[in-house]
Amino acid sequence: MSSRTIGYARVSTSHQDVESQVAALNEAGCDLVFSEVVSTRKKEKDRPQLQAALSCLIEGDELVCHSLSRVGRTQVEVINRLHDLQENKVHVRTLDGLISTRALGKMAPILVGLLTGLNEVERELIRERTLESIEHRRKNGQSIGGRPRTSKQREQLVLDLREQGDSYRQIRDMTSMGYHTIRRIIIDRETAA
């Protein structure tokens, strides 16, 4: 069986025109073109035309898209997709000229490996920077995220109002605090006593 060229076109909103991508893919010699209008925020499983395009690819086929951003939401997704396609001996080409694994020949696995390696290094650097930032914030007494703790004065106000016989709802209305916060303060005091 001869190899096929499968196209995939995607735009994020209905205000964009997917037809221009479809026309460009047809002009580039695609035998079959899948297209959809779907937000980049949608997960891969919620992108049926991408799933259809990927599922019909077999060894020796070529996936063509306008740019690499069409086949993944993030850099990690795109690189992983390139790696998976390369493992299945499926070629990838973009119309913007960034990549053509068929044209790269034996160099294609090296390029995909390099991109995968760079991606792993980037993930590790992000993780290190995040940990450094958390450590710096801890040392300087800064918040490391989450909701700020309720002040002792506000906690005492809640406890005083409850001792006066006010209901949780009345306390909420007087303090503008959330029900769960009020309840936590009262339960914490009861368990400590």
In this structure, are residues 135 and 141 in contact, taking their beta carbons and an 8 Å threshold?
A: no
Q: What is the pLDDT of residue 15?
A: 78
Question: Is 12 tagged catalytic?
Answer: yes
Q: What is the pLDDT of residue 1?
A: 59
Q: What is the pLDDT of residue 73?
A: 74
Tokens 């070629």 appear where? 91
Q: What is the pLDDT of residue 116?
A: 64
For the stretch 80-124, pLDDT in tens is: 888 889 889 999 998 988 788 888 877 777 777 777 677 677 778
Q: What is the pLDDT of residue 105?
A: 79
Catalytic residue among 2, 3, 12, 151: 12
In this structure, are residues 12 and 38 in contact, taking their beta carbons and an 8 Å threshold?
A: yes
- Alpha helices, DSSP H, located in 10-87: 18-27, 48-56, 75-87
**CATH class belonging to 5-118:** alpha beta
User: 3-class SS at 133?
Assistant: helix
The side-by-side arrangement of strands in the sheet containing 32-37 is 32-37, 5-11, 62-65, 91-94
For the stretch 135-145, pLDDT in tens is: 888 888 877 77
Q: Which residues of the chain have pLDDT under 50?
A: none
Q: How far apart are CA 125 and CA 143, in angstroms?
A: 22
Q: How far apart are CA 122 and CA 7, in angstroms?
A: 30
